[in-house]
Amino acid sequence: MSLEFSDGVRWVARIPIPPWSEALQKRRSLDHISLDFIGNNTTIPVPRIIECQTTENNAVGRPYTFMTFLPETQLAKLWFDPAWFTDERRNIVFESLARLMSQLSSHEFPLIGQLDIDHITGTTFVGPYYPSLGAISEGETSPDPVGDPSPSTYIFLQRKISDQLKEASDTGVISDLQLLRTFASMLGIRRLDEEGNVTGIVDWDGVRVVPDWDPLLYGYCEASASDNGNNDEDDVEDLSREAQEEDSPETLSWFREDYLAVFSRLNPAHGRLTQHFHILEAVIIAITASYTRSPILDKLMEYVYGGNDDVNVKLLWFDMLARRLSTSAWTRLGRKNLGEEEITFE
């Protein structure tokens, strides 16, 4: 909800719909801590919190947040407009975004977890994990932590897999999780102005990058006018519009390479991490969201071991499920196939 005052100042009011819980209260508090940290320690143009209440004990009777309003146009509304999103503007978008996001790498923490704050000293630190928005939507109401901070990405992934295995009884689920454990080991882990400059980044709470490596949440449709030769002009236009809901895999790969080139030039030390981060994200999604697990595993198998329908890949998978090929053997084979493209996250 946008609020505009007589002097022209605009705020954004966020008032969640019922029901509210202590778990949501804790997550809202942590989201505000992260947003304040980014706003106070970088030049990334994020909304600034003016006033907030995370409980229902106030005059409004509901939790609320008043934030500054970020002007200009949302990139999503211009992305598929060829008249605006020219090659020149795309370069400006990538350059502007990379300059902003590379600032985050200058703030390193010793643990992986959720940002919290010591309200006595005002010191920000990495605390434990709390229930995710997905868990809360499924009925979780407790504000208690669900996991300790992790000292490395490898331990972070292994803990998540172990948590899933404790609750798994189906042999297929267990096999998928064991395969994800293999991939985790294989990683080698120890808003816009008229010119295209990013003027604001919003929706930090619960945000998740969902690349084309998550087939169930990737909505690209190949527009084609060749179906039996019976499509008329209206059909072709409808198909093209549907295809424009997402970029093609080839286009996304091209954009990723362009962005990586800009990011690596601005921040060489972290360019390699950015290069393969979408793969790490896909592994995390597959671990935590069971309904996406199978298609992501298919994609990972294709990427690491060969073609999508390659007979050798199917045999390798069968060997893994039959426990005839050890995790260490899979890891060695995957790294050999990846060659110089071995994925590394420190």
Question: Cα(212)–Cα(248) distance, rounded to whole angstroms?
Answer: 9
Quickly state the pLDDT bin for 121 (edges 50, 70, 90).
very high
pLDDT at residue 175, as a whole number: 81
Judged against a pLDDT cut of 70, whether residue 6 lies above it is answered with yes
Q: Which ranges in the chain belong to alpha helices (H)?
A: 22-41, 87-101, 133-137, 153-167, 171-186, 233-243, 249-266, 271-275, 277-288, 293-305, 311-321, 327-338
CB 190 within 8 A of CB 73: no
- Segment 95-102 mean pLDDT: 90
pLDDT at residue 313, as a whole number: 53
pLDDT at residue 41, as a whole number: 92
Share of the chain above pLDDT 90, in %: 21
Global pTM? Answer: 0.73
Judged against a pLDDT cut of 90, whether residue 232 lies above it is answered with no
CB 123 within 8 A of CB 142: no
Q: What is the DSSP string of 127-172?
A: E-B---HHHHHTT----S--B--BSSHHHHHHHHHHHHHHH--SHH
pLDDT in tens, 259-299: 889 988 988 877 777 777 777 888 888 888 888 888 888 77
Whole-Å CA distances, 296 to 66, 86, 187, 272, 328: 38, 32, 15, 22, 21
Which is higher by pLDDT, 189 or 96? 96
pLDDT in tens, 161-216: 998 888 888 888 888 888 888 878 776 544 555 666 666 655 555 433 334 455 55
pLDDT in tens, 39-90: 999 999 999 999 999 999 998 899 999 999 988 788 888 888 889 989 999 9
8-state DSSP, 306:
S
pLDDT at residue 302, as a whole number: 74
Average pLDDT, rounded, for the chain: 76
pLDDT at residue 202, as a whole number: 54
